[in-house]
Amino acid sequence: MNVEISNSWSEVLKGEFDKEYFKLLSKFVEEEYANHTVYPPEGLVFNAFEKCPFEDVKVVIIGQDPYHQPYQANGLSFSVNEGVRLPPSLCNIYKEIYRDLGVEITASGDLERWSRQGVLLLNSILTVRADNAGSHQKQGWEQFTDFVIEKLASERENLVFMLWGSYAQQKGRNIDSSRHLVLTSAHPSPLAAYRGFLGNGHFSKANIYLKLHDKEPINW
């Protein structure tokens, strides 16, 4: 697997790429792309890191694995390519931003605009086989992204972590809430959004915290 990752992240993560689990993961991913349809496109597997350098991260939003339908996944959690119909979870994210901040809902589901401002849109698993959600679980991605979260939590200060749903909350269980703002709620999926995601106020809380620590708020 060709690891295309920005210089700042490459420096932070360089030792991880040499570990045996990552070599096995790379072999698995290469075989999957060679023999199946896999999302996102190979060049976008590390897109979240490319668009948001380590030193620029202000907010971390943790997803699970990429969308598994054609043209959707672009390497950013919850994001879809321009012109693609908004998935239900993203619709609910936009609804909460409107309720929380009054920002009008847009037809574009491409969240690169957030990444450019310092929002790391990190899936726990970075690849998936077409039409088969969760198909690349337990191959090593979880260990890799655990390490990413650990490095952010230990080497940066005053970040905002948005942990939506039990999966993300388990993923962020070791984040020191005395050093960072850790926001938790139900997941924005239609099955859970009305049980605590809608109304959570995470987007305004994040911006208040960022301003309190002399950081530019996010234009959600």
Active-site annotation, residues: 65
48 within 8 A of 4, measured Cβ to Cβ: no
DSSP for 89-137 reads HHHHHHHHHHHHH-PPPPS---THHHHTTTEEEEESS--EETTBTTTTT
**Coil, strand, or helix at residue 37?**
coil
Task: Single out the residue of 129, 138, 114 nearest to residue 60, CA to CA.
Answer: 114
Report the 10 Å Cβ neighbour count for 17.
15
